[in-house]
């Protein structure tokens, strides 16, 4: 595998550079400004296919030659993209069979990017040709630092339902099942008599009058991931014929539900991610932290690259909020704190044309006499000071279980409640841990869990037998497990595990669930102390649950809280099962953040021996990466953190005792 780090001199800083949208005199200004800001890496050529192959088989690399030469002369490295996410107009016209078809059977239009079928043989041939031409021409170019294949696989064309996709899906099923009897057994096709006599009878899960076989839907999602991975591999292998530089593609963790990034990760030389703040959230930086932690986990703990984020507003949300003063810096440094070795933006210079002209950039429409530009220059200086953090790892005592297949399965139609959303509970638990200053990793349920003191499974509806056993063994060996309701219900085919719920987790949790009692919209239930615990137990007083209640029977566990009202009044709401050398906790409602979830988590963290700072405001982000301690203050008032010793990396100050982090500011101390 080609070497990492990508840039030996430190953290990579820059963004998507689209000089083709500007006259050449602007390019010279661009590289001058890049040097002023300390930019050392730019992504070029992402959407250039129609420009470098204006007619089929006719290439014109003259502009890209000049751009790469100019970057090299300015000492700026290139992350050269293959342009295959935006096929040219001639391709669309000449190969109509490659057009994307949605679930309702609409052929989606051109005049846009991502408008192609990932299983199209014509797309495969044309994309391989352009990648080979590009790689042959530029493999030895001195500006090149790495290859950036495609752009955001699966973002807009995750699932295609055209005849070519249907054919490829059937081939995938033949490979997976061998014979159609095995497929029928896996999908449970005796239900409604939907039994297949041959693979030829299988259609993709197109829009149907009522609920479609869920096993079929899940396999189509798996097939679609593989179809995109096959596109990536084809390009990667083509590049490899010419070049040994690292090859990556930009993921969209966690905001591209259809892509299972556990499956993607081994394909890339370095994991790269794009992340944009969701302005509608109250505390968008907590979702940012979650995205960064999940990206690091997908990367197996190795340093990863932040390939895109924004200096200010995006253009595709209902209300595109500008970042407040200091927010861009906090965002970027939070990604670095959580393992990124780069800080890249979409985009270098704000565009004048097309769909994205209101998207922020490093050089905004306002030019360099702007807050954004001054902040971009200052950020470049911060990142140079942080060069020493490159390559360092983040360690975590707590892991959250995240499985894309469970995400897909939980959100199929006809679940017990529309309020069961995969990310709802994950984000609730993540946020509570963030506010406790606990850094978490994310894990697949079949991963090695031994490094963790506590594993939390907030949303593991789909859980195969083997991963469930993995959790069981983890607890027996002394691990601590916290599971939220509606977990361990079905296997990988969306078939209910036999016996009372939660089938796959019944033994480890020591409970059996007799009946679900989903709550009405906005209905709440109150939790109280359990009679058997006799104490105020977990969750403190005033704990409230939403969304869910259920009839839990103890089968080895003991109740630590009961429902005080609602359909399960007087029955267990939170249980604890001491098993082997460990403990498994179960929570059967959606506890509100305060006081219920926070109080319960405090108790579970203490019981699991998770060490964490105490007494700090829950608006302070605190992360350790190697010997760098990052303190990011998201509040409007300064905060003092006791017991900080070391050298301030950003401010050069010597810290020995209490450290003050200014309102909205960041302090990084090398300890």
Catalytic residues: 152, 308
CA dist 400 and 443 (Å) reads: 6
Check if the beta carbon of residue 410 is closer than 8 Å to that of residue 416: no
Secondary structure of residue 566 in the 3-state scheme: coil
Q: State which residue, 114 or 546, has the beta carbon closest to ligand GAL.
A: 114
Q: State which residue, 274 or 494, has the beta carbon closest to ligand GAL.
A: 274
Tell me if 546 contacts ligand GAL by CB under 6 A: no
- Rg from Cα positions in the chain: 26
Burial 520-555 (b: 16+ CB within 10 A, else e): eeeebbbbbbbeebeeebbbbeebbbbbbbbbbeee
As measured in angstroms, the least distance from the Cβ of 562 to ligand GAL is 47
Nearest residue to 237 (alpha-carbon basis) of 87, 372, 128: 128
Q: State which residue, 79 or 152, has the beta carbon closest to ligand GAL.
A: 152
Task: Give the length of the chain.
Answer: 671
What does the DSSP assignment read for 231-280? HHHHHHHHHHTT--S-EE-EE-TTT-TT--HHHHGGGSSS-EEE----TT
CA dist 265 and 291 (Å) reads: 15
As measured in angstroms, the least distance from the Cβ of 149 to ligand GAL is 13
Instruction: Write out the binding residues for ligand GAL, residues 294-353 only, by CB under 6 A.
Output: 308, 314, 346
Tell me if 359 contacts ligand GAL by CB under 6 A: yes
Show the DSSP H helices in 364-403 as ranges.
371-385
Tell me if 79 contacts ligand GAL by CB under 6 A: no
As measured in angstroms, the least distance from the Cβ of 601 to ligand GAL is 33
As measured in angstroms, the least distance from the Cβ of 85 to ligand GAL is 8
Q: State which residue, 313 or 632, has the beta carbon closest to ligand GAL.
A: 313
Helices (H) and strands (E) in the chain, counts: 17, 26
Which residues neighbour 359 within 8 Å (Cβ) at sequence distance 6 or greater?
A: 310, 313, 314, 315, 346, 347, 350, 351
Residue 397 tokens, joined: 């005592």
CA dist 240 and 112 (Å) reads: 29
Size of the site for ligand GAL (CB under 6 A): 9
Q: State which residue, 217 or 250, has the beta carbon closest to ligand GAL.
A: 250
CA dist 578 and 509 (Å) reads: 9
DSSP 3-state percent helix, strand, coil across the chain (nearest 5): 35, 20, 45
CA dist 149 and 3 (Å) reads: 17
Tell me if 356 contacts ligand GAL by CB under 6 A: yes
Tell me if 669 contacts ligand GAL by CB under 6 A: no
Query: Could you tell me how far CA 671 lies from the centroid of its own chain?
Result: 30
Residue 370 tokens, joined: 């702007």
Residue 305 tokens, joined: 């690259």
Binding ligand GAL (rule: CB under 6 A), the pick from 30, 53, 79, 152 is 152
Binding ligand GAL (rule: CB under 6 A), the pick from 274, 341, 427, 492 is 274
Residue identified by tokens 């992350």 is: 79
Residue 420 tokens, joined: 């069961």
Q: State which residue, 151 or 589, has the beta carbon closest to ligand GAL.
A: 151
Q: State which residue, 260 or 274, has the beta carbon closest to ligand GAL.
A: 274
As measured in angstroms, the least distance from the Cβ of 545 to ligand GAL is 36
Q: State which residue, 86 or 493, has the beta carbon closest to ligand GAL.
A: 86
As measured in angstroms, the least distance from the Cβ of 114 to ligand GAL is 10
Binding ligand GAL (rule: CB under 6 A), the pick from 276, 345, 408, 655 is 276
As measured in angstroms, the least distance from the Cβ of 276 to ligand GAL is 5
Tell me if 561 contacts ligand GAL by CB under 6 A: no
Instruction: Write out the binding residues for ligand GAL, residues 21-40 only, by CB under 6 A.
Output: none
CA dist 42 and 361 (Å) reads: 13
Secondary structure of residue 648 in the 3-state scheme: strand
Check if the beta carbon of residue 310 is closer than 8 Å to that of residue 360: yes
Tell me if 151 contacts ligand GAL by CB under 6 A: yes
Residue 130 tokens, joined: 């352009």
Q: Residue 253 to residues 209, 284, 297, 303, 459: CA-CA distances in angstroms?
A: 33, 15, 11, 15, 17
Q: State which residue, 274 or 550, has the beta carbon closest to ligand GAL.
A: 274
As measured in angstroms, the least distance from the Cβ of 406 to ligand GAL is 25
As measured in angstroms, the least distance from the Cβ of 349 to ligand GAL is 13
H or E stretch including 67? helix 62-73
HSE on the CB side for 459, CA within 13 Å? 24
As measured in angstroms, the least distance from the Cβ of 135 to ligand GAL is 21
Nearest residue to 98 (alpha-carbon basis) of 114, 74, 78, 111: 114
Q: State which residue, 47 or 242, has the beta carbon closest to ligand GAL.
A: 47
Q: State which residue, 258 or 595, has the beta carbon closest to ligand GAL.
A: 258
Burial class (CB in 10 A: 0-12, 13-18, 19+), 78: buried
CA dist 261 and 163 (Å) reads: 26
Give the residue at shortest CB distance from ligand GAL: 346
As measured in angstroms, the least distance from the Cβ of 308 to ligand GAL is 6
Q: Give contact residues for ligand GAL (rule: CB under 6 A).
A: 151-152, 274, 276, 308, 314, 346, 356, 359
């Amino acid at each position: 595998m080609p070497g990492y780090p990508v840039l030996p001199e430190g953290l990579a800083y820059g963004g998507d550079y689209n000089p083709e949208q500007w006259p050449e005199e602007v390019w010279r200004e661009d590289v001058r400004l890049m040097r002023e800001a300390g930019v050392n890496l730019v992504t070029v050529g992402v959407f250039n296919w129609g420009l470098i192959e204006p007619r089929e088989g006719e290439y014109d690399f003259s502009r890209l030659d000049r751009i790469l030469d100019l970057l090299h002369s300015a000492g700026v490295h290139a992350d050269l993209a293959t342009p295959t996410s935006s096929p040219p107009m001639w391709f669309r016209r000449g190969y109509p069979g490659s057009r994307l078809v949605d679930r309702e059977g609409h052929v989606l239009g051109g005049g846009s990017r991502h408008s192609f079928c990932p299983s199209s043989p014509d797309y495969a041939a044309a994309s391989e040709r352009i990648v080979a031409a590009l790689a042959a021409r530029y493999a030895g170019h001195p500006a090149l630092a790495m290859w950036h294949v495609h752009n955001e696989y699966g973002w807009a064309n995750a699932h295609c339902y055209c005849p070519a996709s249907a054919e490829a899906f059937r081939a995938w099923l033949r490979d997976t099942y061998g014979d159609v009897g095995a497929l029928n057994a896996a999908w449970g096709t005796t239900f409604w008599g939907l039994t297949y006599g041959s693979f030829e009878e299988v259609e993709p899960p197109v829009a149907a009058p009522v609920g479609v076989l869920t096993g079929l839907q899940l396999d189509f999602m798996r097939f679609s991931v593989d179809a995109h991975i096959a596109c990536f591999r084809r390009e990667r292998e083509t590049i490899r014929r010419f070049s040994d530089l690292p090859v990556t593609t930009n993921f969209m963790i966690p905001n591209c539900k259809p892509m299972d990034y556990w499956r993607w990760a081994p394909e890339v030389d370095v994991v790269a991610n794009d992340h944009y703040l969701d302005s509608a959230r109250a505390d968008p930086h907590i979702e940012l932290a979650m995205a960064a932690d999940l990206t690091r986990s997908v990367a197996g703990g190795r340093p990863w690259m932040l390939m895109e984020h924004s200096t200010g507003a995006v253009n595709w949300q209902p209300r595109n909020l500008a970042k407040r003063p200091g927010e861009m810096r906090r965002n970027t440094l939070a990604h670095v704190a959580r393992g990124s070795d780069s800080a890249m933006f979409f985009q270098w210079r704000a565009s004048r044309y097309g769909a994205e002209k209101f998207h922020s950039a490093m050089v905004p429409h306002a030019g360099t006499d702007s807050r954004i530009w001054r902040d971009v220059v200052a950020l470049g200086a911060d990142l140079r000071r942080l060069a020493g953090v490159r390559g360092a790892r983040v360690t975590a005592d707590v892991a959250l279980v995240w499985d894309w297949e469970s995400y897909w399965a939980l959100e199929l139609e006809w679940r017990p409640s529309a309020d069961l959303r995969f990310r709802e509970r994950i984000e609730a638990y993540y946020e509570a841990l963030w506010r406790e200053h606990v850094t978490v990793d994310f894990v697949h349920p079949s991963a090695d869990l031994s490094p963790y003191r506590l594993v939390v499974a907030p949303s593991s509806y789909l859980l195969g037998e083997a991963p469930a056993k993995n959790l069981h063994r983890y607890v027996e060996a002394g691990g601590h497990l916290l599971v939220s309701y509606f977990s361990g219900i079905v296997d990988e085919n969306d078939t209910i595990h036999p016996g009372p719920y939660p089938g796959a987790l019944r033994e480890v949790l020591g409970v059996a669930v007799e009946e679900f009692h989903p709550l009405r919209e906005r209905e709440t239930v109150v939790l109280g102390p359990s009679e058997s615990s006799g104490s105020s137990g977990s969750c403190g007083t005033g704990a409230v649950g939403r969304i869910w209640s259920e009839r839990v029977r103890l089968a080895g566990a003991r109740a630590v809280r009961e429902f005080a009202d609602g359909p399960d009044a007087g029955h267990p709401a939170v249980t604890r099962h001491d098993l082997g050398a460990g403990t498994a906790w179960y929570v059967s409602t959606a506890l509100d953040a305060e006081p219920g979830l926070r109080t319960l988590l405090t108790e579970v963290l203490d019981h699991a021996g998770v060490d964490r700072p105490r007494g700090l405001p829950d608006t302070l982000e605190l992360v350790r990466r190697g010997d760098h301690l990052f303190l990011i203050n998201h509040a409007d008032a300064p905060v003092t953190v006791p017991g900080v010793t070391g050298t301030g990396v950003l401010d050069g100050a010597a810290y020995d005792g209490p450290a003050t982090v200014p309102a909205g500011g960041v302090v990084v101390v090398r300890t």
